[in-house]
Amino acid sequence: MVRLALRSDSPPDLLGRLGATAGALLAAGVVTLLGGLLFLAPTMAEIVLLFGINAILVIGFQVFVGNTGIVSFGHVAFMAVGAYAGGIAAMPVLDKEVVLPDLPGALAGTEVGFLPALLVGGAAAALLALLTGPALMRLSGAAASIATLGLLIIVSNVLAQATPLTRGPQSLFGVPENTTFIGVYASLAVVVALSAWFKWSGAGLRARAVRDQPAAAEAAGVSVLRSRLWAFVLSAFITGVAGALYAQLLTAFSPGSFYIPQLVLVIAMAIVGGVGGISGALLGTAVITVINEVLRKVESGVPIAGVEIHAPSGISFAALGVALILMLRWRPSGLLGASEVQVETRAPAPAEAGPARVAGAAVPPVATDRPPAEATVEE
C-alpha cells in the first residue's frame, strides 16, 4: 500500500528514507506545478523565479538550523559568495575586460555555462563554510548565532572592499541572464532530495542528537563539531547555489543586496514555515512571498474606494516583523513544525518502533517536536 503522510518521526530503514525523500520531492513537485502555472502569466514570471530561488535558500538555511538547532545569521554571506563566485564565473570574457579590468588572469580568461556556474557558486560557499565552520561550530546557542552574524559582516566588508574582484560597493553588472524556470526548479528538486536524504542519514541524525542532548550524544561518541560541520557545509553549498541562481537572474547586484534585509526575508520564511523541516521551508517561503508581493503592491499604491492608498515604503518589513512575532507567540515551531510529507509503502509502524530503531545503539533517539502521523491522506 502506498500512501502519503505528514509525520515528524524518522523513517525506519532505507525504504523509509527513500519514501521520505520521495515525499519531499513530491512537495517540491506540487510547488513546481503551481509555479509553472503562474509562470505562464507574464507579470508573474520573475516572482515565480525569485520564489524558487528563495525556496532553495530557505532549504539551505533549514538544513543547518533545523538539524543543529543553531539559528544562523550568516547564511546570507554564503548566498553572497555564491552569487559573486557564480556570477563572475559565468560572465563572458569580453565583458570581464570592461566590468572587472583588474581581475586576476586565471579568472579573467575563463567563462563557464549556467550549470558549472551554479556548482562554482555552491563550491565557493561550501569552502567558506569548511574554513570558518571549525571555529564557529564550537559555539552554541545565541553565542553561535552572533558569531555567524559576524561572518556575514566580515564577508560583506570584504566584498565591498575587494574592488578588483567585485567592483567594491558599486554594483557588479554584466552577468548573463541564464536563470530559467527549468534551471531554478530542477535545482530545487535536486536540493530538496539532497537535504531530505541528509536529514534522514546517519549524519543528520547525529546532528539532531547533538541538538537535543549534546551531553548524551557526546557521551555516545558523536562529535559535536563534526556533526554540525557537515550540516554547515551542505547548507552553505545549497545556499551558494541559490546565490548563483540569483546572480544569473538579476544580472546586476552589489554587496548591499546580501545584507540585513535579505537576512530578514530568509528568517521570516524559515520561521513561519517551521524550521524543523523541508516541507515547512517550502510552505513558509510560499506564505511570505505572497504576503510580500501583496504588500509591495500596496506600497506602490492601491485604489481603495476610489482613493489611491500608498503605504510608506518599508511596510513589508514591518509586516514580516509582525508575522514573526505572532508566529513565535502562537505557533513557535512554525506552520508545519518538524513534520514532513512522506511516502509510506506500508502501514505506519508502531510509534515506539520509529526513532529508536534507526537511532540504533550509537545515537540516542531524536526527540520529535510533535506527535507523528498528524494527518494521513490515502492514495
Question: Minimum distance from CB of 305 to another protein (Å)?
Answer: 22
Give the cell for residue 279. 516541507
Binder among 41, 104, 138, 177 for another protein (CB under 8 A): 138
In the region spanning residues 302 to 341, those forming contacts with another protein, defined by CB under 8 A, are 312, 314-315, 317-318, 320-325, 328-329, 332
Q: CB of residue 45 vs another protein: minimum separation in angstroms?
A: 29
**Residue placing its CB nearer to another protein in the complex, 92 or 141:** 141
CB of 218 to another protein, least distance (A): 11
Is 15 or 153 the residue whose CB approaches another protein more closely?
153
* Distances from the Cα of 344 to the Cα of 201, 340, 356, angstroms: 17, 12, 18
Helix (H, G, I), strand (E, B) or coil at 321: helix
- Residue 291 binding another protein, by CB under 8 A: no
Among positions 54-73, residues that touch another protein (CB under 8 A) are: 69-71
Q: Give yes or no for a contact between 32 and 189, defined as CB atoms under 8 angstroms apart.
A: yes
CA 46 to CA 97: how far, in whole Å? 29
At a CB cut-off of 8 Å and minimum separation 6, what does 16 contact?
Answer: 10, 200, 342, 344
- Main-chain phi, psi angles of 370, to 5 degrees: -140, 160
CB of 302 to another protein, least distance (A): 18
Q: Which of 38, 44, 119, 158 binds another protein (CB under 8 A)?
A: 158
Give the residue with the Cβ less far from another protein, 57 or 144: 144
Using CB under 8 A as the binding rule, whether residue 300 contacts another protein is answered as no
Cβ–Cβ under 8 Å, residues 61 and 378? no
Decide if 67 contacts 211 (C-beta within 8 A).
yes
Q: Out of 260, 291, 298, 335, which residue is the one contacting another protein (CB under 8 A)? A: 260
Q: How far is CA 170 from CA 97, 260, 273, 306, in A?
A: 17, 18, 34, 41
Closest separation between CB of residue 98 and another protein, Å? Answer: 24
Determine the Cα–Cα distance for residues 217 and 205; give it in Å rounded to an integer: 10
Q: Which residues bind another protein (CB under 8 A)?
A: 69-71, 132, 135-136, 138-143, 145-147, 149-151, 153-155, 157-158, 161, 214, 260, 264, 267, 271, 312, 314-315, 317-318, 320-325, 328-329, 332
